[in-house]
Structure 1
Amino acid sequence: MSGLNIDHGGAIAVDTTQLRELAERVRAVVPVCAEVEESVERVEALLGSAAWTPLASAAWSLRSAVMAVQTLTARVHETAADLDLMAEVYEVVELRARAEVLSHTDAAAAAAVEARLRLLLAADERLAPLADLQERTADERRFRGLGDQFDAGGLLPPMFLGGAVVGVTLGLGRVRPGMLLGATADPVRVSAASHSRPAGAPSGLASAFRRMPSASGAQVAIEKYTVPGESPRYVAYVSGSRSMSLREGGGVEAWDMKSNIELYTGGRSASYQATLDALAAAGARPGDRVDVVAHSQGGMIAAHLAMESAFTVTTQITAGSPVEPTLSADQTLVQLRHTDDVVSALAAGGAREGTGSADSFTARRVGDPDPGRQDLALATHSLESYVETAAMVDASTDPRAVALDAYWADLDRAVTVERTEYRAERVLPDP
């Protein structure tokens, strides 16, 4: 469906245990082949010994059948061996990723993983180059179409590819454990721009992204879901940048390039502080469940809400985020990424090992396969383009996409939904 690919988000596409189990099932065919070969050989011998019968000539045909079974048996052996080899290749990729993650949080555990990795690589010299190839293929898949933008005299494609280069070189596209936002945010004033009572929860991803703030100037919307007998829960809809001007950065608009740069480089932005203030104004308290739907700059805000705020974030849904968070096994991360989106490319392809719960997934496609002047306006990064991708995921039969239906159904148990959209402005010093 329009090149849509849904996976866990890492370079590890197949579970190694499943690969080894499949190898054993394939190998179990060998005894069956041996029995068939033995039976055909017995018949061949019987017919060959009775040279005087009219059936003697059939023995030659059976000899061909025996040779075919022998060839099949050899191929079964080869297939099982190839599956075992690929399981070890994926294990190398997995161990490399795990060691890299642990190096930031647990040096001893990282050393243990690296020791296991060295033993695995020493046992078979084929593994390292095959693992390298798997990682390169995964990286190429994540940036497909990024260099195929409108040419503009040869200037535009290198600019787009620069997003991937920045992400890979600076290593800022991955928010790792312990990477807390530093410094103090610019003072910000948050006020309610509109109130409403939606009839229920979103029906899917596309419906959720269509709930991004639409009131004049609003950048964040908070929905409060009330189920009798349960604590209230919240969903924050956090929009992308409202100003891309470097010259105007640091002005009244809190969702600007200054906030973009601060968040990407680990600084506490006015937009992040405004989101916290909006949640507090909507009634959310420390420990309350707050899930997040976010686009672009909002994805960076969502990452830190999930990893360092006092709220309990169990589900995070982002589109075109410049970063990828490192979530725990009890947090679900759903990411929409266009491989030709320069902003998404700043995440440098994300985590090789994937992140979040087993239900987490990343849906990727080339958002705008036709080069044209729309590339100058970053059309493939627009919210409208990602809503199209969200609709494709909603229509997908992928088990992870289908499983997300349970999340919307759980939200829809609420008897009341209260929605407030908030407008945030920096408080500028007097001239």
Structure 2
Amino acid sequence: MSGGLDITHGGAIAVDPEALRAVADALVALASHFEDAAHAVRRAHGSLAAMPTTGAHVDTAALWASVDRTEALHEDCRTAGENTRLMADVYELVERRAQLDALAIQGKPPTGALLDRVAALEASDPRVLEMETWLIAAWEKNRFDGLDEQFDLDGLHAGPGIAVLFAAAAALGARGFGRLPPNATLSGSAGPVSVAPVRTTAPIAPPTSLAEGFRRLDASAGQITVEKYSMADGSRRFVLYSKGTQSLASDEPFDMESNIDAYLGEEPASYAATIEALEASGAEPGDEVQVYAHSQGAMNSAYLSTQSEFDVSVQVTAGSPMHPTVGEDQLLIEMRHPDDIVSGLAGGGLPGGSGATDSIVATRDGSSLDLGLPAHMLGNYIETAEMVDASGDVRLEAWRDKARELNEAVSIESIEYVAKRE
């Protein structure tokens, strides 16, 4: 992977409409100053032109030319301010429609205030509706950029099968298979699984960075690790680390069968194992759980946040085939590589993003890669996480606040689990 880090809230909305309106107001205010300046220079030119002796000392032609330049700057600022305000309305309209869609999925009626705001935005300018269509169309077209660059098909003589695979991934994502609605649930019940602890340690602190969270996941001797934080008030909090696919087929719950089950909405054995590992560590309904997960583990964490009885307050995921719709009280931090076929199954996310206002989607472009799927490998996502940690993005402060809360624990216990199908 190379550089090109981009951090947004996800989907088509990558800016704050109110921030855009503040910029628009500043541009319009600046335009009025240019207009005042043009009037002042014009008056000065008139005064000087009425004094015949000034021609030898003042270039009145250049002075008049400055009037033209100042008036042009006034028009440029005014137009830029009006266009910026128009774009703010367009972005807000997309965001409001996403809210309406989310309410419809949940079977809840929209508020009168929301409907009135949508109507006001639609009526604000005849161009708003057309520009909204352009914005969504551009997002729909570009959200799968990079998938066709995953393999150098000509150089590797990979044949049409790989190209078909990537086209199928994009098609599945585009049809919405990887986008979970609010409160999504799994159907059916996975076959019996068991989890056994293979190593217990006592970390001295929670992860101090996003990258460290993924490193702890990578270093686990099992597929699942659970850290239990015992707080001074007697409550407990948990941090779950969940790996991706470990094999194609075996007694391994983290296999391709579980991938297919989870993606199609059937309970996978790996999800059942995840619940058992949390319960074996002492987690009970209502306990807070923070998650670091890769690939298949991220699919399980998505359903953990939408259907389980645990309070999933933070999800930090890498290369997830799904994009969950989570509540405004849940922090969702996603690492995605546009040239990662597995991430492409998520369908490019939602037009309005998901989760708390400080939730982010971090993407990093790569180049043509080989058949080892390095764009999806956890090691490359750790590099992306390191870049996010170093980005200085202010939204990361919300994640740091959650980490600081765990620092108040009086004891920490980490248990690594190996899960098996029975």
**TM-score, structure 1 normalization:** 0.90
Q: Which amino acid aligns with 2:228?
A: K
Q: Which residue of 2 aligns with 1:283?
A: 282
Alignment partner, residue 311 of structure 2: 312
3-state SS of 1:318 partner: strand
Change over 3 Å in CA distance of 1:129–1:153 after alignment to 2: farther
CA contact (8 A) 1:47 1:56 kept: no
2:181 paired residue among 176, 187, 197: 176
- Does residue 234 (structure 1) correspond to residue 238 (structure 2)? The answer is yes
Aligned position for 1:413: 408
Does residue 186 (structure 1) correspond to residue 191 (structure 2)? The answer is yes
Distance 1:54 1:168, change over 3 A: closer
**1:280 partner amino acid:** E
Q: Say which SS state the counterpart of residue 137 (structure 1) adopts.
A: helix
Look up the match of 1:295: 294
Equivalent residues of 1:213, 1:220 under 8 A apart: no
Residue 266 of structure 1 corresponds to which residue in structure 2?
265
Superposition deviation, residue 125 in structure 1: 3.9
Query: 136, 144, 152: which is aligned to 1:150?
Result: 152
Give me the whole-angstrom Cα distance separating, in 2, the residues matched to 1:107 and 1:114: 13
Alignment of 1:16-415 (within 5 A): 16-55=17-56, 58-106=59-107, 108-109=109-110, 117=118, 120-121=121-122, 124-148=125-149, 149-151=151-153, 152-169=158-175, 171-212=176-217, 214=219, 218-244=222-248, 248=249, 251-366=250-365, 368-371=366-369, 374=370, 376-401=371-396, 403-415=398-410
Quote the offset at 1:354 in angstroms.
Answer: 0.7
SS at match of 2:395: helix
- Deviation readout 1:326-358 (Å, 9 max, x if unpaired): 111111001011111111111101111011111
* 8 Å Cα contact 1:164/1:346 also seen in 2: yes
Q: Report how far residue 117 of structure 1 moved.
A: 4.2
Name the structure 2 match of 1:15.
Answer: 16
C-alpha contact (below 8 Å) 1:200/1:416 kept by paired residues: no
Give the stretch that moved more between structures: 102-111 or 5-14: 102-111
Q: Structure 1 122/406 Cα, relative in aligned 2: closer, same or farther at 3 Å?
A: closer
More divergent stretch after superposition (147-156 vs 134-143): 134-143
2-structure distance, mates of 1:110, 1:143: 34
Q: In structure 2, what residue type is equivalent to 1:289? A: E
What's the secondary structure of 1:237's corresponding residue?
strand
What residue ranges of structure 1 are gaps of 5+ in the alignment?
A: none
The 1:110–1:228 alpha-carbon spacing in structure 2 relative to 1, beyond 3 Å, is closer
Q: What is the CA–CA distance in structure 2 between the aligned matches of 1:47 and 1:340, rounded to whole Å? A: 65
Distance 2:384 2:60 in 1: 61
Give the AA of the match of 1:241: T
Query: What is the CA-CA distance between 1:283 and the residue it aligns to?
Result: 0.8
Contact 1:150–1:157 (8 Å) recurs in 2: no
3-state SS in 2 of match to 1:103: helix
Q: Cα offset for 1:64?
A: 1.2
The amino acid that maps onto 1:186 is G
Contact 2:8 2:14 survives alignment (8 Å): yes
Identify if the C-alpha distance between structure 1 residues 278 and 41 changes in structure 2 by more than 3 Å, giving closer, same or farther: same
Q: In 2, distance between residues paired with 1:285 and 1:94?
A: 36
- Quote how far apart the aligned CAs of 1:177 are: 1.8
What is the CA–CA distance in structure 2 between the aligned matches of 1:41 and 1:162, rounded to whole Å? 66
SS at match of 2:225: strand
Cα 1:337–1:316 shift into 2, 3 Å:
same
1:137 Cα shift? 3.4
Match of 2:419 in 1: 424
Deviates more, 1:107-116 or 1:317-326: 107-116
Q: Deviations over 1:148-186 (max 9, x none)?
A: 1220235423422321211112x2211112421111221
Find the aligned partners of 2:87 and 2:342 in 1 and give their Cα distance.
33
Q: How many residues align?
A: 416
Relative distance call for 1:112 and 1:167 in structure 2 (3 A) is: farther
Structure 2's unaligned 5+ residue stretches are: none
* Structure 1 residues 420 and 405: alpha-carbon distance in aligned structure 2, compared to 1, 3 A threshold: same
SS of the aligned residue for 1:28 comes to helix
Q: What is the Cα deviation at residue 407 of structure 1? A: 3.1
Find the residue that maps to 1:399 and give its secondary structure: coil
- Secondary structure of the residue aligned to 1:193 is strand
Report percent identity of matched pairs. 38
> SS of the residue aligned with 1:397?
coil
- Once residues 10 and 265 of structure 2 are traced to their aligned partners in structure 1, the CA distance between those partners, rounded to angstroms, is 23
Partner SS state of residue 61, structure 2? helix
Residue type at the aligned position of 1:346: L
- Counterpart amino acid of residue 50 in structure 2: S
Q: Distance in 2 between matches of 1:272 and 1:154?
A: 34
Q: CA RMSD in A?
A: 2.3
